Amino acid sequence: MKRALSLLYLSFDKRLSAKEESELRSSLSQSEELRREMVRIEKLRGAISQVAIDGFDPFFVERVMARIEEERAKPEIFFGSLYRAFRWAMIPSLALLLGIFIKNISSADGFSIRAAIGLPDFTVEDVFEPQTDLFLVEE
Amino acid sequence: MNESKLLDSARRGDDKAFREIVRRYEAVVARTIKGMLGDCAEAEDIGQEVFVRFYSALNSFRGDSGIATYLTRIAINLSINELKRRKRKLRIFSSKPLDEYSNIKDLKYPPDIEREEIIKALDSLDAKSKAVIVLRLINGYSTQETASILGIPIGTVLSRLSRAQKKLMALLQDHLED
Protein backbone atom coordinates (compact mmCIF):
# COMPACT_ATOMS: atom_id res chain seq x y z
CA MET A 1 0.00 0.00 0.00
CA LYS A 2 2.88 2.36 0.85
CA ARG A 3 4.44 1.79 -2.57
CA ALA A 4 1.09 2.29 -4.30
CA LEU A 5 0.53 5.54 -2.39
CA SER A 6 3.98 6.76 -3.33
CA LEU A 7 3.34 5.93 -6.99
CA LEU A 8 0.01 7.70 -6.80
CA TYR A 9 1.62 10.95 -5.60
CA LEU A 10 4.40 10.61 -8.17
CA SER A 11 1.92 10.10 -10.98
CA PHE A 12 0.75 13.72 -10.67
CA ASP A 13 4.22 15.17 -11.22
CA LYS A 14 6.19 12.58 -13.14
CA ARG A 15 5.59 10.29 -16.06
CA LEU A 16 5.55 6.80 -14.60
CA SER A 17 7.20 3.92 -16.40
CA ALA A 18 4.89 1.39 -18.05
CA LYS A 19 5.60 -1.06 -15.26
CA GLU A 20 4.88 1.51 -12.52
CA GLU A 21 1.73 2.61 -14.26
CA SER A 22 0.34 -0.88 -14.51
CA GLU A 23 1.27 -1.46 -10.87
CA LEU A 24 -0.62 1.68 -9.87
CA ARG A 25 -3.63 0.75 -12.02
CA SER A 26 -3.80 -2.65 -10.42
CA SER A 27 -3.55 -1.15 -6.91
CA LEU A 28 -6.24 1.39 -7.74
CA SER A 29 -8.57 -1.30 -8.99
CA GLN A 30 -8.12 -3.24 -5.78
CA SER A 31 -8.16 -0.51 -3.18
CA GLU A 32 -11.12 1.71 -2.45
CA GLU A 33 -8.98 3.71 -0.01
CA LEU A 34 -6.38 4.43 -2.72
CA ARG A 35 -9.10 5.60 -5.12
CA ARG A 36 -10.44 7.94 -2.42
CA GLU A 37 -6.91 9.25 -1.86
CA MET A 38 -6.60 9.97 -5.57
CA VAL A 39 -9.79 12.02 -5.50
CA ARG A 40 -8.54 13.91 -2.45
CA ILE A 41 -5.23 14.71 -4.18
CA GLU A 42 -7.07 15.92 -7.28
CA LYS A 43 -9.33 18.12 -5.18
CA LEU A 44 -6.41 19.55 -3.26
CA ARG A 45 -4.36 20.30 -6.36
CA GLY A 46 -7.40 21.76 -8.07
CA ALA A 47 -8.06 24.07 -5.13
CA ILE A 48 -4.47 25.26 -4.95
CA SER A 49 -4.01 25.73 -8.68
CA GLN A 50 -7.14 27.86 -8.81
CA VAL A 51 -5.74 30.27 -6.28
CA ALA A 52 -5.70 33.28 -8.57
CA ILE A 53 -3.30 35.93 -7.47
CA ASP A 54 -3.50 39.58 -8.45
CA GLY A 55 -0.61 41.25 -10.22
CA PHE A 56 1.12 44.26 -8.77
CA ASP A 57 -0.66 47.58 -8.56
CA PRO A 58 -1.02 49.62 -11.78
CA PHE A 59 2.05 51.45 -13.07
CA PHE A 60 4.41 48.82 -11.71
CA VAL A 61 6.58 49.17 -14.83
CA GLU A 62 6.96 52.90 -14.19
CA ARG A 63 7.95 52.30 -10.58
CA VAL A 64 10.55 49.72 -11.64
CA MET A 65 12.00 52.09 -14.23
CA ALA A 66 12.14 54.88 -11.63
CA ARG A 67 14.10 52.59 -9.30
CA ILE A 68 16.47 51.65 -12.09
CA GLU A 69 16.98 55.34 -12.79
CA GLU A 70 17.80 55.84 -9.10
CA GLU A 71 20.27 52.95 -9.20
CA ARG A 72 21.95 54.40 -12.27
CA ALA A 73 22.29 57.78 -10.60
CA LYS A 74 23.89 56.36 -7.45
CA PRO A 75 27.53 56.07 -8.64
CA GLU A 76 27.18 59.42 -10.35
CA ILE A 77 26.07 61.01 -7.11
CA PHE A 78 28.89 59.34 -5.20
CA PHE A 79 31.73 60.22 -7.58
CA GLY A 80 30.21 63.61 -8.37
CA SER A 81 30.07 64.62 -4.74
CA LEU A 82 33.55 63.22 -4.15
CA TYR A 83 34.86 65.36 -7.01
CA ARG A 84 33.07 68.47 -5.80
CA ALA A 85 34.28 67.97 -2.22
CA PHE A 86 37.95 67.66 -3.12
CA ARG A 87 38.20 69.79 -6.28
CA TRP A 88 39.74 72.70 -4.35
CA ALA A 89 42.58 70.46 -3.12
CA MET A 90 43.48 68.97 -6.51
CA ILE A 91 45.90 71.59 -7.89
CA PRO A 92 47.74 72.32 -4.61
CA SER A 93 48.14 68.55 -4.03
CA LEU A 94 49.53 68.02 -7.53
CA ALA A 95 51.93 70.95 -7.11
CA LEU A 96 53.08 69.58 -3.75
CA LEU A 97 53.65 66.09 -5.20
CA LEU A 98 55.62 67.53 -8.12
CA GLY A 99 57.75 69.58 -5.70
CA ILE A 100 58.50 66.44 -3.64
CA PHE A 101 59.47 64.48 -6.78
CA ILE A 102 61.83 67.25 -7.96
CA LYS A 103 63.45 67.55 -4.53
CA ASN A 104 63.92 63.75 -4.29
CA ILE A 105 65.45 63.52 -7.77
CA SER A 106 67.79 66.44 -7.21
CA SER A 107 69.12 64.98 -3.97
CA ALA A 108 69.55 61.46 -5.45
CA ASP A 109 72.53 60.18 -7.45
CA GLY A 110 70.56 59.50 -10.63
CA PHE A 111 67.07 59.62 -12.10
CA SER A 112 64.76 56.68 -11.27
CA ILE A 113 61.20 56.10 -10.13
CA ARG A 114 62.51 54.86 -6.77
CA ALA A 115 64.45 58.07 -6.37
CA ALA A 116 61.49 60.23 -7.42
CA ILE A 117 59.18 58.75 -4.82
CA GLY A 118 61.94 58.77 -2.26
CA LEU A 119 62.29 55.05 -1.59
CA PRO A 120 65.38 54.33 0.53
CA ASP A 121 68.18 52.52 -1.24
CA PHE A 122 68.24 49.27 0.67
CA THR A 123 66.59 45.90 0.17
CA VAL A 124 64.20 43.86 2.29
CA GLU A 125 67.08 41.56 3.18
CA ASP A 126 69.01 44.55 4.54
CA VAL A 127 66.15 45.29 6.89
CA PHE A 128 65.40 41.80 8.11
CA GLU A 129 68.85 40.20 8.19
CA PRO A 130 69.58 39.66 11.85
CA GLN A 131 72.66 41.25 13.26
CA THR A 132 74.11 38.15 14.82
CA ASP A 133 76.85 40.00 16.64
CA LEU A 134 74.20 41.48 18.95
CA PHE A 135 73.67 38.04 20.43
CA LEU A 136 77.29 37.33 21.13
CA VAL A 137 78.02 37.27 24.83
CA GLU A 138 81.33 38.63 25.84
CA GLU A 139 83.28 36.20 27.94
CA MET B 1 9.88 41.35 -30.58
CA ASN B 2 11.22 38.01 -29.43
CA GLU B 3 13.02 37.43 -26.15
CA SER B 4 16.59 37.47 -27.45
CA LYS B 5 16.05 40.64 -29.50
CA LEU B 6 14.52 42.30 -26.45
CA LEU B 7 17.51 41.26 -24.39
CA ASP B 8 19.99 42.56 -26.95
CA SER B 9 18.23 45.90 -27.11
CA ALA B 10 18.02 46.15 -23.33
CA ARG B 11 21.75 45.36 -23.07
CA ARG B 12 22.47 48.19 -25.48
CA GLY B 13 20.70 50.50 -23.04
CA ASP B 14 17.32 50.66 -24.75
CA ASP B 15 14.94 51.47 -21.90
CA LYS B 16 11.91 50.75 -24.04
CA ALA B 17 13.08 47.16 -24.42
CA PHE B 18 13.58 46.78 -20.68
CA ARG B 19 10.16 48.26 -20.01
CA GLU B 20 8.74 45.62 -22.34
CA ILE B 21 10.55 42.90 -20.39
CA VAL B 22 9.07 44.19 -17.12
CA ARG B 23 5.62 44.41 -18.68
CA ARG B 24 5.82 40.87 -20.07
CA TYR B 25 7.09 39.16 -16.95
CA GLU B 26 5.43 41.24 -14.24
CA ALA B 27 2.60 38.72 -13.80
CA VAL B 28 4.94 35.73 -13.41
CA VAL B 29 6.97 37.55 -10.80
CA ALA B 30 3.83 38.74 -8.96
CA ARG B 31 2.36 35.22 -8.86
CA THR B 32 5.58 33.83 -7.47
CA ILE B 33 6.12 36.47 -4.82
CA LYS B 34 2.50 36.77 -3.73
CA GLY B 35 2.20 33.01 -3.75
CA MET B 36 5.13 32.85 -1.35
CA LEU B 37 4.44 35.91 0.80
CA GLY B 38 0.82 36.77 0.32
CA ASP B 39 -0.35 40.18 -0.77
CA CYS B 40 1.66 42.34 1.57
CA ALA B 41 3.50 45.64 1.26
CA GLU B 42 6.83 43.83 0.88
CA ALA B 43 5.60 41.93 -2.19
CA GLU B 44 5.75 45.00 -4.42
CA ASP B 45 9.19 46.03 -3.10
CA ILE B 46 10.53 42.57 -3.74
CA GLY B 47 8.94 42.58 -7.19
CA GLN B 48 10.79 45.78 -8.03
CA GLU B 49 14.01 44.39 -6.58
CA VAL B 50 13.73 41.35 -8.85
CA PHE B 51 13.73 43.55 -11.94
CA VAL B 52 16.42 45.89 -10.62
CA ARG B 53 18.68 42.87 -10.03
CA PHE B 54 17.89 41.53 -13.46
CA TYR B 55 18.77 44.90 -14.95
CA SER B 56 22.13 44.88 -13.15
CA ALA B 57 22.79 41.33 -14.37
CA LEU B 58 21.74 41.94 -17.99
CA ASN B 59 25.27 41.66 -19.32
CA SER B 60 26.11 38.53 -17.39
CA PHE B 61 22.77 36.83 -18.16
CA ARG B 62 23.54 34.23 -20.81
CA GLY B 63 19.93 33.38 -21.50
CA ASP B 64 20.34 29.63 -21.05
CA SER B 65 17.27 29.38 -18.88
CA GLY B 66 14.91 31.96 -20.35
CA ILE B 67 13.94 35.25 -18.77
CA ALA B 68 10.86 33.95 -16.94
CA THR B 69 12.79 31.15 -15.29
CA TYR B 70 15.63 33.47 -14.30
CA LEU B 71 13.25 36.07 -12.86
CA THR B 72 11.29 33.38 -11.01
CA ARG B 73 14.53 32.12 -9.50
CA ILE B 74 15.39 35.60 -8.21
CA ALA B 75 11.81 36.04 -6.96
CA ILE B 76 11.87 32.73 -5.08
CA ASN B 77 15.23 33.48 -3.47
CA LEU B 78 14.19 36.95 -2.36
CA SER B 79 10.87 35.59 -1.07
CA ILE B 80 12.60 32.87 0.93
CA ASN B 81 14.87 35.55 2.43
CA GLU B 82 11.81 37.59 3.32
CA LEU B 83 10.12 34.57 4.94
CA LYS B 84 13.27 33.97 7.00
CA ARG B 85 13.31 37.64 8.01
CA ARG B 86 9.66 37.38 9.08
CA LYS B 87 10.35 34.24 11.04
CA ARG B 88 13.16 35.98 12.90
CA LYS B 89 10.90 38.95 13.55
CA LEU B 90 8.14 36.67 14.80
CA ARG B 91 10.57 34.98 17.12
CA ILE B 92 11.63 38.34 18.51
CA PHE B 93 8.21 39.88 18.92
CA SER B 94 6.20 36.63 19.08
CA SER B 95 3.32 38.33 17.35
CA LYS B 96 0.73 36.51 15.27
CA PRO B 97 1.53 35.92 11.57
CA LEU B 98 0.20 38.49 9.18
CA ASP B 99 -3.03 37.76 7.46
CA GLU B 100 -1.51 36.83 4.13
CA TYR B 101 -3.13 36.07 0.82
CA SER B 102 -5.80 38.55 1.76
CA ASN B 103 -6.46 39.68 -1.79
CA ILE B 104 -6.34 36.32 -3.47
CA LYS B 105 -9.39 36.37 -5.64
CA ASP B 106 -12.22 34.29 -4.38
CA LEU B 107 -12.52 32.20 -7.51
CA LYS B 108 -13.69 28.74 -8.39
CA TYR B 109 -12.63 27.02 -5.21
CA PRO B 110 -14.30 23.69 -4.88
CA PRO B 111 -17.34 24.75 -2.86
CA ASP B 112 -16.52 22.51 0.05
CA ILE B 113 -13.14 24.11 0.71
CA GLU B 114 -13.18 27.45 2.45
CA ARG B 115 -10.80 30.00 1.02
CA GLU B 116 -9.47 30.83 4.45
CA GLU B 117 -8.71 27.21 5.11
CA ILE B 118 -6.54 26.97 2.01
CA ILE B 119 -4.77 30.17 2.97
CA LYS B 120 -4.07 28.92 6.46
CA ALA B 121 -2.91 25.53 5.20
CA LEU B 122 -0.52 27.04 2.63
CA ASP B 123 0.84 29.39 5.23
CA SER B 124 1.67 26.52 7.54
CA LEU B 125 4.20 25.13 5.06
CA ASP B 126 7.88 25.84 5.48
CA ALA B 127 9.56 28.05 2.86
CA LYS B 128 11.04 25.19 0.84
CA SER B 129 7.78 23.26 0.61
CA LYS B 130 5.89 26.44 -0.17
CA ALA B 131 8.31 27.19 -3.00
CA VAL B 132 7.63 23.87 -4.76
CA ILE B 133 3.87 24.24 -4.31
CA VAL B 134 3.91 27.82 -5.65
CA LEU B 135 6.07 26.95 -8.65
CA ARG B 136 4.43 23.66 -9.54
CA LEU B 137 0.79 24.17 -8.63
CA ILE B 138 0.25 27.93 -8.73
CA ASN B 139 2.69 28.99 -11.46
CA GLY B 140 2.22 25.76 -13.38
CA TYR B 141 5.91 25.02 -13.98
CA SER B 142 6.82 21.44 -14.82
CA THR B 143 8.67 19.35 -12.28
CA GLN B 144 11.85 19.76 -14.35
CA GLU B 145 11.46 23.54 -14.49
CA THR B 146 10.73 23.70 -10.77
CA ALA B 147 13.90 21.74 -10.09
CA SER B 148 15.91 24.02 -12.35
CA ILE B 149 14.54 27.20 -10.78
CA LEU B 150 15.25 25.99 -7.27
CA GLY B 151 18.57 24.43 -8.22
CA ILE B 152 17.66 21.07 -6.70
CA PRO B 153 17.32 17.55 -8.17
CA ILE B 154 13.96 16.43 -9.57
CA GLY B 155 13.79 13.73 -6.90
CA THR B 156 13.95 16.40 -4.20
CA VAL B 157 11.14 18.36 -5.89
CA LEU B 158 9.01 15.22 -6.00
CA SER B 159 9.61 14.35 -2.39
CA ARG B 160 8.97 17.94 -1.24
CA LEU B 161 5.77 18.02 -3.30
CA SER B 162 4.60 14.77 -1.86
CA ARG B 163 5.41 15.82 1.71
CA ALA B 164 3.78 19.22 1.27
CA GLN B 165 0.63 17.70 -0.24
CA LYS B 166 0.36 15.19 2.58
CA LYS B 167 0.62 18.00 5.11
CA LEU B 168 -1.97 20.06 3.26
CA MET B 169 -4.20 17.00 3.01
CA ALA B 170 -4.01 16.45 6.75
CA LEU B 171 -4.89 20.08 7.41
CA LEU B 172 -7.74 20.15 4.91
CA GLN B 173 -8.90 16.60 5.55
CA ASP B 174 -12.46 17.50 6.47
CA HIS B 175 -12.91 19.56 3.30
CA LEU B 176 -11.52 16.95 0.96
CA GLU B 177 -13.80 14.12 1.97
CA ASP B 178 -16.77 13.37 -0.25
Contact A64 B109 (CB under 8 A): no
Cβ distance A46 to B107 under 8 Å? no
Q: What is the DSSP string of A2-45?
A: HHHHHHHHHHTTSPPPHHHHHHHHHHHHH-HHHHHHHHHHHHHH
Task: Work out the average pLDDT over A49-68.
Answer: 87
Are the beta carbons of A51 and B138 separated by less than 8 Å? Answer: yes
B115-136: pLDDT as tens digits: 677 778 888 899 999 999 999 9
Chain A residues whose CB is inside 8 A of the B177 CB are 40
Whether residue B143 and residue A13 make contact (CB cut-off 8 A), yes or no, is yes
The answer to whether B157 and B141 are in contact (CB under 8 A) is: no
Label residue B161 exposed, middle or buried (CB < 10 Å: 0-12, 13-18, 19+).
Answer: buried
pLDDT value at residue B148: 92
* Pairs across A and B, CB distance < 8 A: 114
pLDDT for A125 beyond 60: yes
Q: Do B137 and A45 touch (CB under 8 A)?
A: yes
In degrees and rounded to multiples of 5, residue A112 shows phi and psi of -155, 165
Q: Which residue from B minimizes the CA distance to A72?
A: B56
Q: Which of A55-59, A76-80, B8-12, B64-68 has the lowest mean pLDDT?
A: A76-80
Q: How many Å is the Cα radius of gyration of chain A?
A: 40
Contact A41 B169 (CB under 8 A): yes
Q: How far apart are the first and last CA of chain A?
A: 95
Element (H, E) at B105: none
Distance from CA of B168 to the nearest CA of A (A): 8
Higher per-residue confidence, B23 vs A85: B23
Give Cα A40 distance to the centre of its chain: 43
Q: What is the mean pLDDT of residues B143-167?
A: 94
Average pLDDT of the residues in A23-36: 92
Distance separating alpha carbons of residues B145 and B140, to the nearest angstrom: 10
Q: Is the complex ipTM higher than 0.95?
A: no
Q: Do B22 and A65 touch (CB under 8 A)?
A: yes
Q: Is the pLDDT of residue B97 over 60?
A: no
Out of B15, B34, B52, closest to residue A67 by CB: B52
User: pTM of the full predicted structure?
Assistant: 0.69
From chain A, pick out residues whose CB is under 8 angstroms from the CB of B154: 14
**Dist CA B38 CA B167 (whole Å):** 19
- Rounded-to-integer distance, Cα B147 and Cα A14, Å: 12
Give the pLDDT score at A33: 92
Look at residues A65, A46, A64, A67 and name the one whose alpha carbon lies nearest to residue A55. Answer: A64
